[in-house]
Structure 1
Amino acid sequence: MIFIIAPPSPLIANLHTDFLTATIIAGLVAAFGAFIIGFPVLRLSGDYLAIASLGFSEVLRILALNLQSVTNGSLGLKGLPNYTNIWWSWGWLFVTIVFIVSLVKSSYGRALLAIRDNSIAAEAMGINVFKHTLLSFVISGFFAGISGALYAHWLTTIDPRITTFGPILTYYVLIMVVLGGLGSISGSVVGAIIFAFLMEWLRAFEQPFTLFGRQFPAIQGMRMLVLSVLFVVTMIVWKRGIFGRSELTWEGIINFFKRIGLRRSGEK
């Protein structure tokens, strides 16, 4: 790893471990940070919760810029090994899905579903809403830390000034979840696939192109414009996303194609 201007602290400089262990440690550190932030923030609700969360994220960014001996300041950490590949990405995706599915089917998951449907009724039934919400926040922080470790070893750098580590990445994740379906695990995966496909397909619109024999210049930001419109349309047409709270199952896929076959046979 390459450090510029200021050397790192001895603790960071002399710390060497394998990629899997480092990734898990990143998840645990993020989970601890989520606990520290979530303990006061989750006592708020509505707009106040969103504002406080964004405020803490900005505080962390400023700390990363100023802790020169640990983060190398605005220059960041360069030269990270390029460990992240398709196998690590798909492997962690599989682990995440299995964990979340098992979590939802557990008693803790059922308590979370009750809180999602009606937090007041859930609390009246004896469910500790704050404790369950905080624990879910910590779990989310753990997997966010895993994602950050994978992403950093894909970019081979960690820089607080990189916009993809800023709010824009949060919006990307939000679009994926809302597009696929709020409350649907498989819907979130499908939403991420659709989002990734559109991001690559719409890349051509940010390059000079010809349409009906007329030359058009490159339009920077066109991808985000189209995705934002898609996000708004999805919220209007499907308030809970494409899948809503339903899950993608083999039975559902078979029934879908059966309905298409029945429609075609009826038209004939």
Structure 2
Amino acid sequence: MSKTKSLHILFLIISILFVFLSPQIFNDYGMNIVNQIAIFIIFAVSYNLINGVTGQFSLEPNGFVAIGAYVTALMLLSAEAKNEQFFLDGPNSFILMMHTNYFIVALLLSGICACLLSLILSFAVFRVRGDYLAIVTLGFGIIIKLLALNFYSITNGSRGFVDIPQFSNIFWTGSIAIISVILILNIVYSKYGRAMKAIRDDEDAASAMGINTFWIKTLAFGTSAFLEGVGGGLLVCLLTTLTPDQFDFLFTFQLLIIIVLGGLGSTTGAIIGAILVIGGSEWLRFLDESMNIFGYQIEAMPGFRMVVFSLILILVMLFARKGIMGNKELIDILFSFKKYLKRRKK
């Protein structure tokens, strides 16, 4: 067995142990944060595949996450619950028929719906590149939110849904996060991953070498959309409420901060970024409350934690301009460090 595979197995074992031991370590509030981190790891590694590995400046995650969230909510809510919650037009007859008691079925359907839409969109969005691609995908996210606000018989408009079954727990979020990371890493280290990196470095040169750039970009786009749809389902079943405002552009912007902070193109960096941004912002919550510092009472300043958090992000980006991990994986850095130590001994 190669050393790379041994390290992968070691990290896998550590991750599985954490999933099983975390309920014994954290209280209910802590477990809620851990679940959110696991879900955002799914979002981050999938978004990093299209934005960091393939180099396509896409701003679409909020749209696909919203689709996954709505599909999951509509599948898990009973017909009685839907009739009670729709307040203008009654629910569409097809919406009433949508139901399953199996969480995994709802998640898979959410991912499939997001993936199918991404395949349809790819014919339009990949006709452009760079900033134009960002504008097109940004428009897609805005359209999804507007549709959710105005199609009352399907989405219940601005009121959304409440009392969604809370199926999400660390075993669901943690296991799917682990599967997502394994899937993304296998793609990155495959011939398709090398093709994605070639497109990121120089799309014209990659095309000249015989790479079907449209198919490779569509593969990355579809994989990313599928995982974002599944993550949206997990998120809505953790929060148990759903409104269109949860998935505006700020959601995409948060994911963009995560992958840039961790390092564009690095799956390990995306994981670290998710832990720092989601966990760090919660850890700094005490800054919003009143504090006694050396005998001086400081009044509560709501939002001050985000000021401090923003300053920390600025400092990190000043000293690590390519993000914490750059475009490297943790295993690559460990092997490089090992080679460095061998050279020093010689």
Shorter-chain TM-score: which interval?
Answer: 0.7 to 0.9
Secondary structure, counterpart of 1:177 in structure 2: helix
Equivalent in the alignment of 1:93: 177
Contact 2:195 2:211 in 1 (8 A): yes
Within the candidate set 273, 291, 301, 1:209 is matched to 291
Length-normalised TM-score, structure 1: 0.87
Q: What is the correspondence of 1:105-144 to structure 2 with a 5 Å cutoff? A: 105-144=189-228
Residues 146-203 of structure 1 deviation map (CA, whole Å, 9 limit, x = unaligned):
11000011111221123xx222221221222122221111221122112223112111
SS in 2 for 1:218: coil
Whole-Å separation in 2 of the counterparts to 1:245 and 1:161: 33
255 and 215 in structure 1: CA distance in 2 versus 1, 3 angstrom threshold: same
**Deviation digits for residues 178-233 of structure 1, max 9, x if unmatched?**
22221111221122112223112111112222333333233333333333333333
The alpha-carbon deviation at position 69 of structure 1 amounts to: 0.7
Relative to structure 1, the CA distance from residue 41 to residue 231 in structure 2 (aligned partners, 3 Å threshold; closer, same or farther) is: farther
Comparing both chains, which one has the higher relative contact order based on Cα–Cα distances under 8 Å and sequence gaps of 6 or more?
Answer: 2
Report the counterpart of residue 20 of structure 1 in structure 2.
Answer: 104
* Alignment equivalent of 1:237, drawn from 312, 319, 337: 319
Which runs of structure 2 are paired with 1:143-154 in the superposition (5 Å)? 143-154=227-238
Quote the residue 2:188 is aligned against. 104
Gaps of 5+ in 2: 1-76
Cα distance change on mapping 1:146 and 1:221 into 2, 3 Å = same
Of all paired residues, the percent bearing the same amino acid is 39
| CA deviation vs aligned residue, 1:130-153 (integer Å, no higher than 9, x gap) | 221122111111111011000011
Q: Distance in 2 between matches of 1:212 and 1:59?
A: 52
SS at 1:201 equivalent: helix
Partner of 2:280: 198
Query: Relative to structure 1, is the Cα distance of residues 84 and 102 closer, same or farther in structure 2, using a 3 angstrom cutoff?
Result: same
The answer on 1:248 being equivalent to 2:248 is no
Distance 1:64 1:251, change over 3 A: closer
TM-score (norm 2): 0.69
1:60-88 Cα deviation digits (max 9, x unpaired): 11111111111111111222100000110
Corresponding residue of 2:61? none
Structure 1 stretches lacking a partner, 5+ long: 263-268
Pair 119,251 (structure 1): closer, same or farther in 2 beyond 3 Å? closer
Residues 1-10 or 82-91, more deviating = 1-10
- Report the equivalent of 1:157: 241
Q: Is the CA contact (8 Å cut-off) linking 2:142 and 2:249 kept in structure 1?
A: no
Give the Cα separation in 2 of the matches to 1:113 and 1:213. Answer: 56
1:265 is matched with which residue? none
2:331 corresponds to which letter in structure 1? Answer: T
- Is contact 2:188-2:194 (8 Å) kept? yes
**Secondary structure, aligned partner of 1:210:** strand
